[in-house]
Structure 1
Amino acid sequence: MSNTILLPIDLGDPASWEHALPRALHLAEGGVLHIIAVMPNFGMPMVANFFDDAFVTQALHDLGEQLTAWVNTHIPETQEIHPHVVRGRIYDEITAAAKKLNVDVIVMGSSSDNLLGPNAARVARYSECSVFLARG
């Protein structure tokens, strides 16, 4: 088994994790499972100007609470788990987290609209570690 696994999830889309989670738990058995939820940027600077720092801070806090609730529901207590909430481009944040956390493999669901296509392809292309795409 691998020692350190990164599982990116979209809390609003169970397809992003329902097939990937069992595989990530299997690979992380006896090791560490990092779970990352990415809050995307607002896109164009003109749009971002409508959201002040307090709004962004609160949105990240809310996402963190949702991720904690998800972890408490879906992850066995015996598994060492480290949840992370970040903001930015999905694929950039996933590959940066994998590098920073020195993970052995990224396990991603491949049937999610947010992780399918460009994001999964870019993670697989630019990640310095192996990427496991769990198909539904």
Structure 2
Amino acid sequence: MFRNILLPVNLTEGPHSPRALEAALEYARRDGAHLYVLEVLPDYGLPVVASFFPPEARAAAVRETEQQLADFVRRHVPEGVAVTAVVREGRPYEQILEEAGRHRIDLIVIPSRHMGTMEGFLLGSTAEKVVRHARCSVLVVRD
């Protein structure tokens, strides 16, 4: 049923969402789907942000994140599941939606946490924006 699955993760905020990973892997194995694991970094290229960092800091942050994501994939994605690790920069929901279009994603598996506000209580701001604007199925997994 699903051919390409996108799992956004946020390794910088601590432990990943084991339930979202579990769900993404379950669908990937069941359907023989390709799993894309996405980490989104803040947009260091914005003039306001870039002024606080030396030019080499952006490249170093991307390299370090790529290594962390590759380690995450090696530890958590079993052999036999086709997987691609992707690091992008920008607003998380925008990058998630762009990746979904870029890889013809037909299922986004996204974790959601209680954020403390009414909007956050209902879904979480990134998950809410992805659900609202995605052109594919979205599975929101609460921890």
TM-score, normalised relative to structure 1: 0.89
CA distance in 2, matches of 1:18, 1:70: 12
SS at match of 1:34: strand
Deviates more, 1:45-54 or 1:72-81: 45-54
Deviates more, 1:100-109 or 1:42-51: 42-51
Which stretches of structure 1, 4 residues or more, deviate above 2 A after TM superposition? 12-17, 41-48
1:129 aligns with 2:105: no
Kept in 2, the 8 Å contact 1:6–1:33? The answer is yes
RMSD: 2.1
Unaligned runs of 5+ in 2: none
* Amino-acid identity (%): 35
Cα deviation, 1:41-68, whole Å, max 9, x if unaligned, reads 2597334212233110110000000000
Aligned length: 135
1:19 aligns with 2:19: yes
Kept in 2, the 8 Å contact 1:15–1:111? The answer is no
Q: In proportion to residue count, which structure has more helix?
A: 2
Residue 112 to residue 65, structure 1, CA distance change in 2 (3 Å): farther
CA distance in 2, matches of 1:15, 1:68: 15
State the partner residue of 2:124.
117
CA distance in 1, matches of 2:95, 2:103: 12
Unaligned runs of 5+ in 1: none
State the partner residue of 1:58.
60
Residue 68 to residue 44, structure 1, CA distance change in 2 (3 Å): closer
CA distance in 2, matches of 1:59, 1:31: 30
State the partner residue of 1:96.
98
State the partner residue of 1:36.
38
From 62, 72, 75, the counterpart of 1:73: 75
